[in-house]
Chains A and B, each alone.
Chain A
Amino acid sequence: MTSTLLQTADWLFVADNLGLLLRGTAVTVALTAASILLGFVVGFPAGALEVYGSGLPKRAVERAGVVLRGTPLLVIIMMLYFVVSVSDSAFATATVALGLRSAAYQTQIFRGALQSVDEGQLEAARAVAMSRFEAIRHVVVPQALRRSVPGFQNEFTIVLKDTSIAIVIGIGELLTTGQNLYEGGRSTAALEIFLAVSLIYFVLTFTTNRSLDRLSDRYAVPEGTA
């Protein structure tokens, strides 16, 4: 294989197959969005439970987190599909796998953010007769969400690229679609395909991180001691 960067024919091949790559991109985006959402819906309360909970629920969340964070994603996804069979749909299974793993990571992002809001504010909220739940909801959570954006940007990027592991249960997302294009000697455009795929990942990462930055700026409050 003597492909160089400037082989026009190979780039034309990529261009011809852009539709396929974009279809793969759609799968990647859908899988990422669903997994991040599931990760948030599970991870945020779990993070709150780790900070404010006690007893069995707190311990259960902590242990589940350790297991999920300590197990390779490949193992989680295969276990869920071939052993536990959570769903006949590979997409649903991949979402659950990526979502639960993301939940475990997001739990830690939110735990750190919640703990970073100083205790005095919680006490002041209690002193104006808010219940503990109200105080956490109206005073701690709004500040914690702002502080979780950087960690969340990382997590999004990780999930986006880890969606490629879904091929082990047959999901052809972006990276796999790209590989299929040259596999079996169907094309010499391997390098060009990889570059194109990387560019698409980059655009997705860049635009999402930029959007989160904007969101963060929009709700930013002056920093310093209160």
Chain B
Amino acid sequence: MTQPLLDIDDLYKSYGSEDVLEGIGLEMDRGDVTVLIGPSGSGKSTLLRCVNQLTDIDSGTVALDGTDVTRPEADVNELRKQVGMVFQDFNLFAHLTALGNVTLGPRKVLGMDADEARERGREHLEQVGLLDQADSYPAELSGGQKQRVGIAQALAMDPELLLFDEPTSALDPELVGEVVDVMRDLADRGITMLVVSHEMGFARSAASDIVFLDDGEIVEHGPPEQLFEAPEADRTREFLGRLETEHEGTP
């Protein structure tokens, strides 16, 4: 019963001689919203990509719902049906409309018939406030709209877990809010989310856990009030101090 949805254990990853992740252990329960913070190059995005196996791990395990998804015979596509991902650069399919982007996965991977996929796709676009843009192509959308389509695309697969890789980093500042609002709404609806982001507003108000990663290690892990108000490690304090001066005025 207490089996975590995501269980990362002793995960190592290096690129050549550069160690990126050095023994990561992390658990998430259903409904958790875990935000990964840390300096650039600390391994946050790599950790995220190891969860859905876009990046191969060197050693350790990633288990989803009790199943080790990193064992050699595991079907990576079965895993990816359960784990959606939202990318920093959106990566929308340029030749498809917003609705086409949202329905491609369900149609081609889940074998859903076109009508049902469209109907459900519209619901997902409505969820991110973009039903009126269903027939627009990515090039006709703003960055914030693209990212919301990206979120709808991930939701359309009905995943157990959603990964967000710096979802607002490529956005103009005035467009960040609309994406954060959608993410907050998902968090409220109990969707399990693992988020790499420095959006402190989101982290404070929506996260159940904050994980501070530095140099490929988890330095500190705790609820937002503890990690932000009373960080234990010097490295955490230092990082948060730097972040505050950089993001002065961010809600």
Contact = CB atoms under 8 A, between A and B. Distances in A.
Interface of A: 117-118, 120-121, 123-131, 134, 138-139, 142-143, 146, 221-226
B90 interface: yes
Contacts of B137: 221-222
Given A128-B153, A128-B154, A143-B95, 20 more contacts: A117-B94, A121-B94, A123-B91, A124-B91, A126-B54, A126-B80, A128-B105, A129-B78, A129-B80, A131-B77, A138-B104, A138-B108, A139-B95, A143-B94, A221-B94, A221-B139, A224-B138, A225-B138, A226-B92, A226-B138
Nearest to A223: B139
Contacts of A117: 94
* Most chain B CB neighbours (cut-off 10 Å) among A123, A125, A139, A226: A226
Contacts of B104: 125, 128, 138-139
Interface of B: 52, 54, 77-78, 80-81, 84-85, 87, 89-95, 104-105, 108-109, 137-140, 146, 150, 153-154, 157
Contacts of B94: 117, 121, 143, 221, 226
18 contacts: A120-B87, A123-B87, A126-B54, A128-B80, A128-B105, A128-B109, A128-B157, A129-B80, A130-B77, A130-B105, A130-B108, A130-B109, A138-B104, A139-B95, A222-B137, A222-B140, A224-B140, A226-B91
Contact of A225 (B105, B139, B150, B153): B139
A224 B146 CA distance: 12
A226 B108 contact: no
A58 B122 CA distance: 42
B93 A124 contact: yes
Contacts, number: 82
A223 B138 CA distance: 9
Contact of B80 (A121, A127, A142, A146): A127
B75 to A, nearest CB: 9
Contacts of B109: 128-130, 134
A121 B146 CA distance: 13
A131 B90 CA distance: 20
A127 B108 contact: no
Given A128-B153, A128-B157, A226 B93 contact: yes
Contacts of B54: 123, 126-127
Contacts of A129: 77-78, 80-81, 105, 109, 157
Contacts of B52: 127
Given A123-B54, A128-B105, A130-B105, A226 B80 contact: no
